[in-house]
Amino acid sequence: MRKTIEIPEDIHDWYVKTAKEMAMPTSALMVFGLKNYIDQQKSLVNIEDVMRQLKELKQKNE
């Protein structure tokens, strides 16, 4: 899927520089970054669930 977005010049420059350093296309670096962000967000949801479960267990044991 192709998407066109406007990004600030400083972010564009960072992507170009970093993509060159990693020898990969800027679009691949952007997808990599977005995938990592999505994974982090999912992890936060999972952590919240684990914390809630731990709290419930602690309350049951008190």
- Give the span between the Cα atoms of 26 and 15, in whole angstroms: 6
Q: What is the pLDDT along the chain (62 residues), one digit of tens a residue?
A: 888 999 999 999 999 999 999 999 999 999 999 999 999 998 888 888 888 899 998 888 88
21 within a domain of the structure (yes/no): no
Q: How many domains does the chain have?
A: 1
Give domain status of residue 10, yes or no.
no
Q: How many CA atoms lie within 13 A of 1 on its CB side?
A: 2
Element counts in the chain: helices (H) and strands (E)? 2, 0
Q: Whole-model pTM?
A: 0.69
* Domain around 54: 26-62
- Sign of torsion, CA 21 3 39 52? positive
